[in-house]
Amino acid sequence: MKIYLIAGEASGDLHGSNLAKAVMRMEPTAQLRGWGGDLMAESGVEITKHYRELAFMGFVEVLMNIRTIMRNFKICKEDIANWKPDVLVLIDYPGFNLRMAEWAKAQGIRVFYYISPQIWAWKENRVHGIRKNVDQMCVVLPFEKEFYARHNYPVEFVGHPLLDAIQSGSFDEKVFRTEQGLDDRPVIALLPGSRQQEIRSMLPVMIEAAATLGEYQCVIAAAPSQKDEFYHEVAGEQMNRVKMVRGKTHELLRIARAGLVTSGTATLEAGLIGMPQVVCYKGSAVSYFIARRLVKVKYISLVNLILDKPAVKELIQQEFNTIQARAELQDLLSEGSRRNEIIADYESLRLALGGGGASERTARLLLKKA
């Protein structure tokens, strides 16, 4: 069986890699090829384009890179047509993958979608194209199954793959600190995102807000797709005030007292691991202006969306500044009702997402339908 996968960002690479491992356990002779990252490559997927070449965020940024994006469509279509897969597996990344679904369906290729685009937040009319072009949709958030049911499109709720990804065996904090050059002081985690655009917007403010809290050490979770030099270029001399770990985000979240986290999958990772957090977001003024008029959800963090309440504080655009970020962070670092409330809400979050095994369930569906 030949399976072609497309993931366009770090979270998709993580979930694609675990899906690939599950597929290979069930079908060792399967051939896997596609677009993704280092984790998918390590899991047996032949990567023909890395996701770091694909990550454009915001309306203005997409327009500025439209020629590159259109060229990527052409390259991807040619690669799929030449390789002739039995099934195309699309992992989130809707701006690109929904167009690929339409093209692949027209070519007679079976289309399997893992991790639904967030069309319940905006562009709800996309559901009609999904119903037409996607043979099987696997959703990972509990309310998504009901959303699709309202549109007469049956989907499978497989659970969230992060529940498996964050599980680990024994973890020795002392060894981790030694390996990463951390001292015994409590840790503040800084997660500025994975794309260059968001790191440029988020990191300087995060460092300025957190590094002045002298009894703590601030540690950046570096994105696997970005080099150390890039962080030094963005933050300059501020990098002397922080440490950086790479490929150890979950371990960092486990030891951190609290953290500043850029809106995205990382907010859910922090919630499931149990790190109190302040969710932050700042994009271009034009992109934010457009998004405010299109997006229909009350919250930007997955933690709050799933729980349908403001469990974690969200600092958006102008609210994300040094003074407010520092104040919210200090509130979480000290023992008190706010910190305890968040930790209690995290228990509800885990229950809402069900048990583990998302990758295994998705792999079985994929191999059954292919």
Q: Give me the pLDDT at residue 156, please.
A: 96
CA distances from 125 to 63, 128, 135, 320 (A): 22, 6, 18, 32
Strands 31-36, 46-50: parallel, antiparallel or unpaired by DSSP? parallel
pLDDT of residue 53: 77
**pLDDT score for 95:** 86
Cα–Cα distance, 284 to 36 (Å, whole number): 26
What is the per-residue pLDDT for 364?
97
| Per-residue pLDDT tens over the stretch 143-184 | 999 999 999 999 999 999 999 888 756 789 999 999 999 999
3-state secondary structure 132-166: HHCCEEEECCHHHHHHHHHCCCCCEECCCCHHHHC
Per-residue pLDDT at 288: 56
- Sign, Cα dihedral of 90, 223, 178, 250: negative
Beta-bridged to residue 218, according to DSSP, are 188, 242
Percentage of the chain with pLDDT > 90? 76
pLDDT at 250: 94
Residues of the chain with CATH 3.40.50.2000: 2-160+355-369, 173-352
CATH topology of domain 173-352: Rossmann fold (3.40.50)
Residues of the chain with confidence (pLDDT) below 50: 59-60
| Residue 226 DSSP one-character state | S
Q: How many other C-beta atoms are found inside a 10 Å radius of the C-beta of residue 276?
A: 24
The answer to whether 124 touches 106, Cβ cutoff 8 Å, is: no
Confidence (pLDDT) at 164: 86
Can you tell me the distance from the alpha carbon of 357 to that of 360, in angstroms, rounded to the nearest whole number?
Answer: 5
pTM of the model: 0.80
d(CA 321, CA 328): 11
Residue 321 DSSP SS3: coil
Range list of H helices, the chain: 10-26, 38-42, 59-64, 66-83, 94-106, 126-133, 142-150, 162-165, 173-179, 196-210, 228-235, 249-255, 265-273, 285-294, 302-307, 322-333, 337-352, 358-369
Tokens representing 241? Answer: 């005030």
CATH of 2-160+355-369, picked from 3.20.20.70, 3.90.660.10, 3.40.50.2300, 3.40.50.2000, is 3.40.50.2000
Q: What is the pLDDT of residue 201?
A: 93
C-alpha dihedral, 140 to 146 to 150 to 153, nearest 10°: 40
The CA distance from 22 to 164, in Å, is 12
Residue 284 phi, psi (nearest 5):
-65, 150
271-281 pLDDT, tens digit each: 999 999 999 99
Q: What is the pLDDT of residue 56?
A: 52
